[in-house]
Amino acid sequence: MDESSSQNQIGGGIPSSSATNRQNLDEATPRVQYSIPGILHFIQHEWARFEMERSQWELEKAELQAKIAFLNGERTGQENLKNDLVRRIKMLEYALKQERAKYHKLKFGSDLVQGSGEPPPGLLDDLGDDAGRLDGGIGDTSASILSCTASNASWKQSRQLLRQYLQEIGYTDTIIDIRSNRVRSLLGISGGEGSGEEGTGGGGTAPTINGGSELTAAKRPADQTPLRWTQPKKSMTSLEAQIKDAEKAVLENFDFLASEADMEVDDDDDDDDQEEEDEMNRMKGAQNLDGDEEGDAVDSLDQDFRYLSGSADLEDGSAAAAAGFGSRGVFVGGGGGPVGGEEDALEGLGELAQLTVTNEADTAYDISSSKETYRKTWSAKYTLRSHFDGVRALCFHPSEQALITASEDATLKLWNLQKTVPAKKSLSLDVEPVYTFRGHMGPVLCLAITGDGEKCFSAGLDGDIRIWNVPSINVDPYDSYESSVELGSLSGHLDAVWGLCCHPHRPQLLSCSSDNTVRLWSPQPLRAPLLSTYHLLKDGVPTSVDFVYESSNQFVTSFDTANCVIYDLETGKPVTRLDTDSADSSNTGSNLTRQINKVVSHPTLPLTITAHEDRHIRFWDNHTGQLVQSMVAHLDSVTSLATDANGLYLLSGSHDCSIRLWQLDSKQCVQEITAHRKKFDESIFDVAFHPTKAFIASAGADALAKVFV
C-alpha cells in the first residue's frame, strides 16, 4: 500500500523537498517503468525460464529412467542367463546321476529292483524334488492319460494334458512308458493285445505292477532319453511310417549298448544310486503298467537283441536295459525325424543329450527363448590378407585362436589371431600369417585338420594329399626353413581332390576326388596309408564327403548329380540313399544346377545337410533318407556349410557374396553378413566354426579370409 501511495504521489507529479519524499522519489524512479506490458513481459520471461528448466528436468528424468530401464534389462538378462546356466548345471547333474544309475543297474540290475524305500532327503535335491512332485501327480497323470488314449479322438486332449503335466511335474516317466507301449504295439510286437491303445488302456486298470517290474525298472533311464522326442508332435500314422527306421535304430543302438555293458561300474555302493533305483521302482509301481504287454515287448525286442551275440556276458538286467535302449532307438527314429522345436536344449547338451535327458520338460523352451533374447551378433573382426588368389578352404585350430587357409595360389597359411597388425580402421584388425606352407604345385582346394591340431592335410588340383605338421602358432614368420613341416603325401587319386574330412577322434581321413572315388586313409603309419577305395562311378562325381558322426562307421558323400548317399565304411555299400530325386522340384534345371556343393553331417543327430547349386539348403533324415526340410537359403548357389560343435547353428556361404547363420532347430536365418567380393562368378568358397571358441570364418575368391567374433 505504501508503494502504491507513493506511486500515486509520483503520479501526481508533486515535487517535495522533504527528505523522506526525496527518498521516495529515488526509490520510485525505476518503478515508473512497471507498466502492464513490462510486467507481462517479465512474467512471460520468467514463465519461459521455468518452463525451460522444467523441460530440462524432464529430460534429465527421462534420461535417468532410460538408464534405469537399461540397467533393469541388463539385470534381467543376467538373471535369465544365470537361470539358463543353473538349468544346464542341473541337467548335467541329473544326467550324471542317470548314468550312474544305469551302470549300476547294468551290473546289479536284478538286485536292486525289489526295494522301494523312501529316499533319504537332501541327498538328491532336484531329483528328490521332482520325484516328490511326481508322486503327487503321477496317479492322476497315468490314469487320465491311459483313459484318454483309448481313442484317436481323445489323443489331442491327452496331448494337452500331457503338456500340462509335463510343465507341472516336469517328470514324464509314465508318459514315456505309455508311448513306448504304444509304439511297441504299433510295431506289432505286443502279442494278441489288439491295438496298442486298447492294450494300454486295459493296462491302465490293472492295479499293480507285476512280473515285468524289473524290466520296467531297468528300462527307466533309457526310457527317459526319448523324452524330448516323444513330446507328441507327430500323429500316429507318421509314427507307423517310420517304424522300419525305428527297428533299424534299435539294432544300431545295440552296438552302443554292448560296449556300454562291458564298462566297469565304479561306485557300486553309492547311496545316490541306490536311492535313485528305489525311486524308480516306486514310480514304476505307481504307473500301473500292464506287465504282460511289457514282457511281450521286451521279449520281441530280445529277439532282435540276439544280433548282439558278441556281448554274451549281458545279464538279465542289462538285457532289459537293452530293451530300454531299443525303445530309445524307436523313439529317435519314430519321433518324427530329428527336427523339432524341443531340440534346442538337447543340442545344447551335445553328446550327453543323446544319453540322458533333463528332468524338466520345459527347459527346452526356456533355453531357446533365452537364446532368442541374448543371441550373439557376429561382426567382422579380423581380415586375413596375404593370399594372392581365391581362398578355397579354411579350418580352425581345434583349441588355439588360430586357423589355416588354403588357396588357389598353391599355398596354405597359418594365422595366429592374437598376432594382429594395427589397421587403419579400428573396427577390424589385419592379421599376417605366421607360416606359409609351400608344397603344392597347383591350386589347393580342400583342407582338414586332426582333432589334436597337430597335423593338417591339404589337397588340390594335382591329386596328391599333403600331410603337414602344424608349426607352433608362435613361430617366427621369418624363421629358417624346416623341411620337417612337410610330412609327405598320400598318392592315389588320379584327378583333382575336392573334399577332405578328418575324423576328430579317429586317425581316419576321407578324401573325394573327381576321379569318381572316395578314399579312406589312415595317415598315422605312412607305409600303407590307404585303407579303402570306394568306386562310386554310377552316382556321378563326388563333390564333398563327411563322416556320419551319429553312427560310428558310416560316411556320406554328395555328387554333382545331386545324389547323396550314406555308405558303410567297412563294406563300402550304400546304407541310405537320400531321396534327392523326389526332393521338391521347384527348380527343375539340369543336373548341374542342382548339384550338391557341400554335405555336412550333424555332429549329434542323424541329420544330413546339403548345400545345392540351386540356392537351396536341404535337410535329410539319415535313417529314412527322407527330406526333412528344403529351403531357398541364398540368392545364388550355396557353396559351403558348417555346423558348430554343439549342432545348434548352421553357417552357410554362397556365391551371392554373403554368409548366413541359421538356427538349426527353427531353420531361421539369424544373421546375414556380406563378406566377400566376386571373382568371375565365384565369391565364397568356405565357412567354418571354431570348435571351441566363439569364432566363425569365411574364405573368398577375393583372396581374403575373414574372421568374425
Partner 1 sequence: MKMADQTVILRRNRAGTKAENFYKWADEAYEEMDSTLVVQQFIQQSIRRSHTNIDAILAAPETQDEGVWKYEHLRQFCMELNGLAVRLQGECQPATCTQMTATEQWIFLCAAHKTPKECPAIDYTRHTLDGAACLLNSNKYFPSRVSIKESSVAKLGSVCRRVYRIFSHAYFHHRKIFDQFEASSSLCKRFTVFVTKYSLMSRDNLIVPILDEELVPQQGGESQA
Of 442, 471, 488, 572, which one interacts with partner 1 (CB under 8 A)? 442
Given the C-alpha cell 517310420, which residue does it identify?
Answer: 242
- Interface with partner 1 by CB under 8 A: which range of 2-10, 110-118, 381-389, 562-570? 381-389
Q: Using the rule CB under 8 A, is 383 a contact of partner 1?
A: yes
Of 703, 705, 706, 707, which one interacts with partner 1 (CB under 8 A)? 703
Of 409, 550, 644, 665, which one interacts with partner 1 (CB under 8 A)? 409
Q: How many CB atoms lie within 10 A of CB 195?
A: 13
Nearest to 277 by CA among 101, 137, 132, 140: 101
Which x/- pattern, by CB under 8 A, does the window 448-467 give for partner 1?
Answer: -------------xxx----
DSSP 8-state symbol, 288: -
Given the C-alpha cell 527353427, which residue does it identify?
Answer: 666
Which x/- pattern, by CB under 8 A, does the window 330-349 give for partner 1?
Answer: --------------------
Q: Which helix (H) or strand (E) holds 255?
A: helix 243-261
- Interface with partner 1 by CB under 8 A: which range of 75-83, 566-574, 680-688, 689-697? 680-688
Of 154, 593, 630, 646, which one interacts with partner 1 (CB under 8 A)? 593
Counting residues that bind partner 1 (by CB under 8 A) gives: 65
Nearest to 567 by CA among 590, 542, 603: 542
Q: Using the rule CB under 8 A, is 686 a contact of partner 1?
A: no
Q: What is the per-residue burial (b if ≥16 Cβ within 10 Å, else e) of 110-145? A: eebbeebeebeeeebebbbebbeebeebbeebbebb
Given the C-alpha cell 532410460, which residue does it identify?
Answer: 66
Would you say 330 and 183 are in contact if contact means Cβ atoms under 8 Å apart? yes
Of 24, 386, 576, 658, which one interacts with partner 1 (CB under 8 A)? 386
DSSP 8-state symbol, 123: T
Nearer to partner 1 (CB atom), residue 220 or residue 615: 615
Shortest distance in whole angstroms from residue 273 CB to partner 1 = 51
Of 274, 597, 610, 658, which one interacts with partner 1 (CB under 8 A)? 597
Of 230, 281, 368, 544, which one interacts with partner 1 (CB under 8 A)? 544
Shortest distance in whole angstroms from residue 565 CB to partner 1 = 14
Distances in Å between the alpha carbon of 654 and those of 221, 659, 679? 44, 6, 13
Q: Rounded CA gap, 688 and 93, in Å? A: 32
Q: Using the rule CB under 8 A, is 565 a contact of partner 1?
A: no
The contacts of residue 597 (CB under 8 Å, 6+ apart) are 543, 544, 558, 611, 612, 613, 637, 638, 639, 640
Q: Using the rule CB under 8 A, is 514 a contact of partner 1?
A: yes
- How many CA atoms does the CB half-sphere of 606 hold within 13 Å? 32
Of 410, 467, 687, 696, which one interacts with partner 1 (CB under 8 A)? 410
- Interface with partner 1 by CB under 8 A: which range of 171-179, 291-299, 318-326, 676-684? 676-684
- Interface with partner 1 by CB under 8 A: which range of 11-19, 68-76, 156-164, 383-391? 383-391
Q: Rounded CA gap, 569 and 67, in Å? A: 60
Burial tier of 157 (Cβ tally within 10 Å: 0-12, 13-18, 19+): middle
Nearer to partner 1 (CB atom), residue 428 or residue 532: 428
Dihedral sign for Cα atoms in the order 603, 606, 611, 616: negative
Q: How many CB atoms lie within 10 A of CB 56?
A: 10
**Residue 357 grid coordinates:** 535327458
Would you say 246 and 179 are in contact if contact means Cβ atoms under 8 Å apart? no
Nearer to partner 1 (CB atom), residue 163 or residue 678: 678
Of 224, 595, 622, 671, which one interacts with partner 1 (CB under 8 A)? 595
- How many CA atoms does the CB half-sphere of 205 hold within 13 Å? 7
Q: Rounded CA gap, 267 and 703, in Å? A: 56
Nearer to partner 1 (CB atom), residue 293 or residue 560: 560
Which x/- pattern, by CB under 8 A, does the window 620-659 give for partner 1?
Answer: ---------------xxx-x---------------x----
Of 151, 379, 418, 436, which one interacts with partner 1 (CB under 8 A)? 436
Of 48, 66, 263, 441, which one interacts with partner 1 (CB under 8 A)? 441
Q: Rounded CA gap, 315 and 317, in Å? A: 5
Q: Using the rule CB under 8 A, is 117 a contact of partner 1?
A: no
Shortest distance in whole angstroms from residue 394 CB to partner 1 = 15
Which x/- pattern, by CB under 8 A, does the window 467-506 give for partner 1?
Answer: ----------xx-xx-x-----------xx-xx-------
Nearer to partner 1 (CB atom), residue 671 or residue 683: 683
Interface residues with partner 1 (CB under 8 A) are 383, 385-389, 409-411, 421, 423-424, 430, 432-433, 436, 438-443, 461-463, 477-478, 480-481, 483, 495-496, 498-499, 514, 540-544, 559-560, 587, 589, 592-593, 595, 597-598, 613, 615, 635-637, 639, 655, 677-682, 701-703
